[in-house]
Chain A
Amino acid sequence: MNTTTAGVVFAASLAVALGLTYRPFGDYLARVYTSERHLRAEKMTYRLVGVDPDTDQRWSIHLRAVLAFSCVSALFLYVFLRLQGRLPFNLGFDGMAPGQAFNTAASFVTNTNWQSYAGESTLGYLAQMAGLAVQNFASAAVGISVAIALVRGFSRSHTDRLGNFWVDLVRTVVRVLLPISVIGAVVLVAGGVVQNFHGVRTVSTIVGGGQAITGGPVASQEIIKELGTNGGGFYNANSAHPFENPTVWTNWLQIYLLLAIPFALPRAFGKMVGDTRQGLAIVSVMAVLAITGVFLVNGFQLAHHGTVPTAVGAATEGVETRFGVSGSATFAAATTLTSTGAVNSAHDSYTSLGGAVLLLNMMLGEIAPGGAGSGLYGMLVVAVLAVFVGGLMIGRTPEYLGKKIAAREVKFAALYILTTPALALGVTAVAMALPGERANMLNSGAHGLSEVLYAATSVANNNGSAFAGLTANTAWWNTVLGISMLLARFLPVVFVLGLAGSLARQRTAPVSSGTLPTHRPLFVGLVTGVAFVVVALTYFPAIALGPFAEGLH
């Protein structure tokens, strides 16, 4: 089997596995969020926390709970990182500087996991597991709970109640993330991921040099890093590090895990709105975009256009031997399509056009399939927009799942769509205008612009991967990117919950002959087209100046 065939089979096997788990996992998720029963551990948690699990919240209360929890999380994490030097198990590392602590706290609370620090030289074990990894669970659960609230907006009729945020949060952790993580972490250890508290062990190598072998509770953090579409590596090299991702099959498993929840949630959506065909339509849009992305990145990386790749004879710079070019390209596509941001190769060294596709994947707005929860709500917003466009074309009041898409709904959708590009392009423009910030680029010329554009796009989409040449640990970058992450996460959450509240209030209209069917291939095509047109119109000039200018000379 040659490299290309192996790469195709590798990607196809992932698609098959995701297809096989779509129904059972999605049905399970739907049961988790519709069940009336509380587990004993959950009841105990509600009692400890002091919330009544059986109150149904209005959208404004739901939103306040999301913001309260995230705000407390960010402050707690900030203080934790600042005080690291005085806490146990810090490996001798001091507290983080204020700018970097703010950036990191914002990053992990928003499910971005942008890292302006290098794990192995900055953070001890306690900060990693009791600080960062907690947010890996919590931020994913927040994303999913917001998505579920939006689904309830569609499925419920004539009510102002969207469920209980605390219940959705606790159930996501207890019934979904934690069980999979425990099993998955042990499987990763079996593959060679380390899980210990040994600290740094200095050994004398075979030829007598010194080498510091690092340790840490890596497997327990690695699994949720992928499952929760977080992406923040225990070590600087992330999933390229042999202790995070030691073998080819752990590589496969990690890609599968970061796609698993985002691809199963549409099924849960379909189940909860009482028509699984609607979920199938949504997941089809995601799949079309995702397969295109994976195919293009693989194609450009294997074709290895560009000066250095041509000189080398393959796009192997920044690529681990065990994964190969294709196993890296598929990971890169998956991580940028899901807002995960874990990397198993250096995106900065990708071919110009391969790197451009990674940028485009993120610019889609992290909807194909997007992050845990955020992917589904992002795609549903695009679907609302598509319904609106479709309604304009046929001259009828647009409806989606029996809900009228009127001025208020379209406003929320439009604000959602505008937030990310405004942040991504705004930060890029300002950074390029400032000589000091421009100087933080490692590469010069068009590729330098790509580095800045990638960073701004990555944080504005809560992705967190990087063209890592950019020196992002400066006061300006830490602050601006930190603020950008917070706005990019919570403004859309406000709009989504507002939309959910407005949809839930409506009575569900019966299907009539004038209703645009939203489960047919035509609708799949329409949503795909809308997603693509929005991206193309917004980002094309910036892409043209960066990677296209570099790749097409």
Chain B
Amino acid sequence: MIVMASPRLPGPVRQLLAALRMLLVLTVLVGVAYPLAVTAIAQLPGLRHRADGSLVRAADGTVVGSSRIGQPFTDAAGRPIPTYFQPRPSAAGAGYDPTATSASNLGPEDVVDMFDDPATPGDESRRSLLTTVCGRSRAVGQLEGVDGRRPYCTPGGVGAVLAVFHRDPGFAGPVVRVVSVNERCPAQPFVATYEGVRVECATPGGDYAAGQRVLVPGPGRGRDNPVPPDAVTASGSGLDPDISPAYAYLQVNRVAGARGLTPATVRRLVEDHVRGRALGFLGEPRVNVVELNLALDRLGTG
């Protein structure tokens, strides 16, 4: 029980007791009554479905997820299932895990991979954001049959980053040694020579930080790449249910082929699922992959 303030108590103690009682009153009011009241209102028809998580059902009536939460369309080995539209890459747990929502949190200049050094205990390997993007672009390009090469990416799908060592300090004098830092030996570096010096592959545990970092642009395109940006970058939540219309259209031929449907049929389905900007200016045009794939399943294998 809370002791009511007695006038005999000194001022600071009275104030602390008043503070405690105030906190308890607020806890009951905004900590219990308020959320329960909102939950009660949320039971109204029209609201309840949304308050419960906008769950979606397959044709047989079983709940298969939420239309607002993306889900993976991969097989047990993590390979994309060709009969389904693929969502964006996800950094939430092992992918689209709502109990571990997250972004990659890797920065724009994260371009150097770490390799596991067998000489030391533990696995130090870590793929840089650049290599991750290059690898995804290459994989999507291969899956969809388009040229997914991007700037600063090697044909092998890692970051095209050279460590260039000069004879004199301050990156001055002739080049004496060049290492392609993201290509682990015995890989063949993506360029044979740089300024007349043979390019080496990288050895695990090698420290190339002293070299000048040179990024090789290469022939790929960033903007207007056939593989759109959302296909090679992870979302903020790791649960993004949407992809860009461009990425959806890119997948039409593959999905149609795998399902034995005509591309025109699948394309029409995508068109029906493209949502434009709300009121013409809010957000970006997008396609909900969960809803699209559900609709695809309902279409059957015409």
State the A residues within 8 Å of B (CB). Answer: 1, 3, 5-6, 9-10, 13, 45, 48-51, 64-65, 68-69, 71-73, 76, 118, 120-121, 129-131, 133-134, 137-138, 166, 169-170, 173, 177-178, 181-182, 185-186, 189-198, 200-201, 203-207, 209, 211-215, 217, 219-221, 224, 235-237, 240-243, 246-249, 251-252, 306-324, 327-328, 343-346, 348-352, 355, 442-447, 450, 467-469, 550, 553
Q: Is B19 an interface residue (CB 8 A)?
A: yes
CB of B22 within 8 A of CB of A169, answer: yes
Q: Which listed residue, B88, B99, B232, touches A321 by the CB 8 Å rule?
A: B88
Q: What separation, in Å, do the CA atoms of A205 and B239 have in the docked complex?
A: 14
| Known contacts A76-B23, A237-B237, A320-B237; A311/B104 CB under 8 A | no
CB of B4 within 8 A of CB of A50, answer: yes
CB of A241 within 8 A of CB of B239, answer: yes
Cβ contacts A to B, 23 pairs, < 8 Å:
A6-B281, A49-B18, A50-B5, A72-B23, A173-B26, A181-B34, A190-B50, A198-B52, A200-B99, A212-B98, A213-B53, A237-B101, A237-B102, A240-B101, A240-B235, A313-B221, A314-B229, A319-B233, A321-B240, A321-B244, A343-B236, A346-B236, A349-B105
Instruction: Digitize B78-106: 1 where CB-to-A-CB distance is under 8 Å, 0 elsewhere.
Output: 00010010001000100011111111111
Q: Which chain B positions have C-beta within 8 A of A138?
A: 23, 26
Q: How far is the CB of B149 from chain A (nearest CB, A)?
A: 10
Q: Which listed residue, A73, A212, A322, A469, touches B107 by the CB 8 Å rule?
A: A469
CB of A134 within 8 A of CB of B31, answer: yes
Q: Which chain B positions have C-beta within 8 A of A324?
A: 283-284
Q: Which of B17, B31, B220, B286 has the most chain A CB within a 10 Å cutoff?
A: B31
| Known contacts A194-B51, A308-B109; A468/B64 CB under 8 A | no
CB of B50 within 8 A of CB of A348, answer: no
CB of B283 within 8 A of CB of A211, answer: no
Q: How far is the CB of B87 from chain A (nearest CB, A)?
A: 10
CB of A308 within 8 A of CB of B108, answer: yes
CB of A205 within 8 A of CB of B71, answer: yes
Q: Which chain B positions have C-beta within 8 A of A9?
A: 281
Q: What separation, in Å, do the CA atoms of A316 and B236 have in the docked complex?
A: 9
Q: How far is the CB of B57 from chain A (nearest CB, A)?
A: 10
CB of A205 within 8 A of CB of B235, answer: no
Q: How far is the CB of A3 from chain B (nearest CB, A)?
A: 7
CB of B68 within 8 A of CB of A243, answer: yes
Q: Which listed residue, A1, A252, A468, touches B280 by the CB 8 Å rule?
A: A1
Given A45-B25, A345-B103, A349-B104, 5 more contacts at CB 8 Å? A134-B26, A181-B30, A213-B98, A242-B66, A322-B240
Instruction: Digitize B244-286: 1 where CB-to-A-CB distance is under 8 Å, 0 elsewhere.
Output: 1000000000000000000000000000000001111111101
Q: What separation, in Å, do the CA atoms of A169 and B47 have in the docked complex?
A: 32
Q: What separation, in Å, do the CA atoms of A217 and B293 have in the docked complex?
A: 29
Q: Which chain A positions have C-beta within 8 A of B224?
A: 313
CB of B237 within 8 A of CB of A241, answer: yes
Q: Is B38 an interface residue (CB 8 A)?
A: yes
CB of B38 within 8 A of CB of A186, answer: yes
Q: What separation, in Å, do the CA atoms of A186 and B51 have in the docked complex?
A: 9
Q: What separation, in Å, do the CA atoms of A453 and B162 have in the docked complex?
A: 29
Q: What separation, in Å, do the CA atoms of A50 and B12 have in the docked complex?
A: 14
CB of A64 within 8 A of CB of B102, answer: no
Q: What separation, in Å, do the CA atoms of A353 and B92 have in the docked complex?
A: 26
> Chain A: which residue is nearest B4 at the CB level?
A50
Q: Which chain B positions have C-beta within 8 A of A317?
A: 103-104, 106, 108, 129, 133, 233-234
Q: Which listed residue, A217, A310, A343, touches B222 by the CB 8 Å rule?
A: A310
| Known contacts A69-B23, A209-B72, A212-B99; A196/B280 CB under 8 A | no
CB of A182 within 8 A of CB of B38, answer: yes
Q: Which chain A positions have C-beta within 8 A of B15?
A: 64-65, 68
| Number of residues on chain B facing chain A (CB within 8 A) | 114
Stretch at the interface among B139-147, B150-158, B173-181: B150-158
Q: Is B164 an interface residue (CB 8 A)?
A: no
Residues 195-221 (chain B) with a chain A CB within 8 angstroms: 215, 220-221
CB of A345 within 8 A of CB of B236, answer: yes
Residues 7-40 (chain B) with a chain A CB within 8 angstroms: 11-12, 15-23, 25-27, 29-32, 34-35, 37-39
CB of B286 within 8 A of CB of A469, answer: no
Q: How many A-B residue pairs have CB under 8 A?
A: 389
Pick the 4 closest A-B CB pairs, nearest first. A248-B283, A240-B236, A324-B284, A346-B103
Instruction: Digitize B108-130: 1 where CB-to-A-CB distance is under 8 Å, 0 elsewhere.
Output: 11111000000000000000011
> Chain B: which residue is nearest A354 at the CB level?
B108
| Known contacts A49-B18, A69-B19, A186-B42; A203/B52 CB under 8 A | no
Q: Which of A193, A243, A315 has the most chain B CB within a 10 Å cutoff?
A: A243
CB of A468 within 8 A of CB of B105, answer: yes
Q: Which of B41, B88, B110 has the most chain A CB within a 10 Å cutoff?
A: B110
CB of A197 within 8 A of CB of B39, answer: yes
CB of A129 within 8 A of CB of B99, answer: no
Q: What separation, in Å, do the CA atoms of A69 and B53 have in the docked complex?
A: 37
| Known contacts A248-B283, A307-B152; A348/B103 CB under 8 A | yes
Q: How far is the CB of B63 from chain A (nearest CB, A)?
A: 5
CB of A322 within 8 A of CB of B286, answer: yes
Q: Which chain A positions have C-beta within 8 A of B234?
A: 317-318
Q: Which of B64, B230, B237 has the most chain A CB within a 10 Å cutoff?
A: B237
Q: How far is the CB of B245 from chain A (nearest CB, A)?
A: 10
CB of B98 within 8 A of CB of A205, answer: no
Q: What separation, in Å, do the CA atoms of A217 and B38 have in the docked complex?
A: 9
CB of B281 within 8 A of CB of A196, answer: no
CB of A209 within 8 A of CB of B239, answer: no
CB of A316 within 8 A of CB of B4, answer: no
Q: Is B243 an interface residue (CB 8 A)?
A: yes
Q: Which chain A positions have C-beta within 8 A of B286?
A: 321-322
CB of A311 within 8 A of CB of B100, answer: no
CB of A182 within 8 A of CB of B42, answer: no
> Chain A: which residue is nearest B112 at the CB level?
A444
Q: Which chain B positions have C-beta within 8 A of A169?
A: 22
Q: What separation, in Å, do the CA atoms of A318 and B88 have in the docked complex?
A: 11
| Known contacts A194-B52, A213-B69, A443-B110; A308/B12 CB under 8 A | no
Q: What separation, in Å, do the CA atoms of A484 and B14 have in the docked complex?
A: 28
Q: What separation, in Å, do the CA atoms of A276 and B294 have in the docked complex?
A: 57
| Known contacts A189-B47, A308-B133, A346-B236; A469/B38 CB under 8 A | no
Q: Is B301 an interface residue (CB 8 A)?
A: no
Q: Which chain B positions have C-beta within 8 A of A351?
A: 108
Q: What separation, in Å, do the CA atoms of A68 and B104 have in the docked complex?
A: 41
CB of A211 within 8 A of CB of B108, answer: no
Q: Is B193 an interface residue (CB 8 A)?
A: no
Q: Which chain A positions have C-beta within 8 A of B21?
A: 48-50
CB of B236 within 8 A of CB of A318, answer: yes
Q: Which chain B positions have C-beta within 8 A of A49?
A: 18, 21-22, 25
